[in-house]
Structure formats: C-alpha cells, structure tokens
Amino acid sequence: MSVFDRLRGHEEVVFVNEPSVGLRAIVAIYSTALGPSCGGTRFRPYASEDAALADVLDLSQAMAYKTACAGLDLGGGKAVIIGDPARDKTEALLLAYADCLQSLGGRYYTACDVGTYVEDMDVLAQRCDFVTGGSPSHGGAGDSSILTAVGVFAAMRAAAAHVWGEASLAGRRVAIEGAGKVGSRLAAHLLGDGASVVITDVDDAAVARVAGVDVVAPDALLDEPMDVFAPCALGGSLSVDSVGRLSARIVCGGANNQLATPDVAQLLADRNIAYVPDFVANAGGIIQVGAEICGYSEADARAKTEAIFDTTRDVLAAADSEGLLPERVAEQRAEARMRSIKRP
C-alpha cells in the first residue's frame, strides 16, 4: 500500500529529515476546515517508521474530531518525532523541528504530548510562532495535561450519571492505566471525589509519585475488580482480549486512540460497558490550546473543559436512543460540523 493510499482525507503530511541533529519527524494535517490544525508533538522510540506514520495519521484524524466535538474553531493535526526522548532530545534537534513548523505558516499549531514537556515548547517558541503550552514565564499557558485531566474527570462523572444515575465516583473503584501527566492528575480528582483508585505504569518512578492509590503490575490491572477503567497511557490498549477481562461498567480515559481495532467498540457495547470516546473525554488539553491561540483566559478554558460533562452525557444518551455506538455518534457530530462550517 502506498503512502497516498493510507491517507483518509488528510490534507497534508510532511516528512522532516535533518541528519545533522538526528531529527526524523512526521507532521500530519488532517483538516483545516474549521481553522488551523492543532495537536501535540509526540516523541517516541517507534519500532519502525511505518509505525510512526500509522500513529500520526490516526492521531491527527482524532484531533480533528476532538476539536469539532469541543466546539472549537480549529482543525486537527499531530506530529511525531522518532527517537528516544531521554537519549535523543537536544536543543539543536528541537530548534530544527521548530524551523519545520514555522515553514508551515500557521497551518499547524503544536503543544506537548507524550515525550515532550513545557520546557520543550519554550525551546520551540524561540524559532516558531505556532507553539502553545509553553511556560507562563515565556508567555504560554503551561501544561495542558492539567485541563486534560479535568475534562476526563468531567466525562467520567457524566458516564457515572448515565450508568448509575449519579454524577459522582464516590464509592466506586477506578483502575487507571498510566501514571503520567494525565493519569496522576486524574487520580487526585477521583480520590477527592471519594473513589478508590488502583493504578499501574511501566515506569515505577511515575507510580511512586501518586499518593493514596493501590498499585499493581501492568499485566495485572485488567483483572482487578473495578467499576471504571481509565486508559491514560499509549493507545490501543483496548483489544478483543483485554475487553474480555474487564469487570468495569464504564471505560473513560485520557489516552488517544484507545481501541486497538474498530470491532472493539461493538464488543464494549455487547458487554454493556459504556464507552466514552477518547476524543470527547480528553479534549481539555486542546481546549487550552485553542484558548491560548485566541487570547488565553484560564476561567474560560476551564468552563469549556467542564462542558465536556454535557457533551459526554448527550453522546451517551443519543447512542442509546438511536441504537448507535457512542463513538459513531461523536464521529457523526464532528463530521457534520466540519461540513457545515467549512471555511471558504
């Protein structure tokens, strides 16, 4: 299959190669129908270039759905840098990457993602005007994972209201896969709401930083008794096999592209598990990005993030009434908005 055959309506895919600094990156712009595309830069040691391309194509499409469902006048894009951030990330590499982003002329705005942080955005901003999520001291709004966790918690409360009739996780047990930037903050929200939390991560140090939770090995989490499963690590953790092990009634988390294959959505429905589409639940970060591009107001960004509660409630209710999967309901709404408000 050629590269063009793999595109699903993507407007532009840019391959970046700068051997002098070890930079290999891919920027994918899925849609600018509603505005400039936005999405984080992921820095990962991908198993292959093919895996990196597959990831950036999937993530950029999901970002377009995410911005549309969140009511933002932004499109969807994503970028990946191939390499181990602990070993390969250098100032020279980041500045070369910034030059590439600048050359796109504002068609793509970037922010933090897996393997990139606020400090990296500050470096990019030295040479690129289309960077968000930098530190407040450098004119940015800071770490977008803070609002991402707020949004996931709001979506989870809405799902709880849908399933159990009460918008609270008090007395429920939530299993969080991933103790990174979003997972650790989500745990704090849940504990504050009266939930009990069991968490896992491949990084023992990350788990150790999360207080007040039970900890299990990564391969044991799915077999834990739980009311809610929250995927907050990398995508694809929900497979036919893994869903068969879940005792949860709700799946709602911060990871992107949680379903390993499309048929998993139907399997979740068949098992009476309410699934909140990831691009609905984890939109808090992109809401912050949108607010920063348009003139940042923390209160406004938080209010729009809290509104993920209403979006989630509406999507789950429509899925029941229309006999559709929640993911398909959310996709249809996003696609309809992109068609109806497309810029000239």
Helix (H) or strand (E) holding 59: helix 49-69
Q: Which of 228, 224, 195 has its CA nearest to residue 212?
A: 195
Q: How far is CA 192 from CA 16, 25, 180, 188, 335, in A?
A: 44, 40, 18, 6, 36
Could you give the angle at which helices 145-164 and 284-294 cross, rounded to 10 degrees?
130
- In degrees and rounded to multiples of 5, residue 60 shows phi and psi of -70, -35
In the three-class reduction of DSSP (H, G, I as helix; E, B as strand; rest coil), residue 249 is classed as coil
Q: Is 66 a catalytic residue?
A: no
23 secondary structure, DSSP code: E
Q: Which amino acid is at 21?
A: V
Helices (H) and strands (E) in the chain, counts: 15, 11
Contact between 140 and 132 (Cβ < 8 Å): yes
Q: How many CA atoms lie within 13 A of 216 on its CB side?
A: 16
* Number of neighbouring beta carbons within 10 Å of residue 266: 12
β-pairing, 75-82 with 23-31? antiparallel
- Give me the catalytic one of 78, 89, 181, 304: 78
What amino acid positions are annotated as catalytic residues? 78
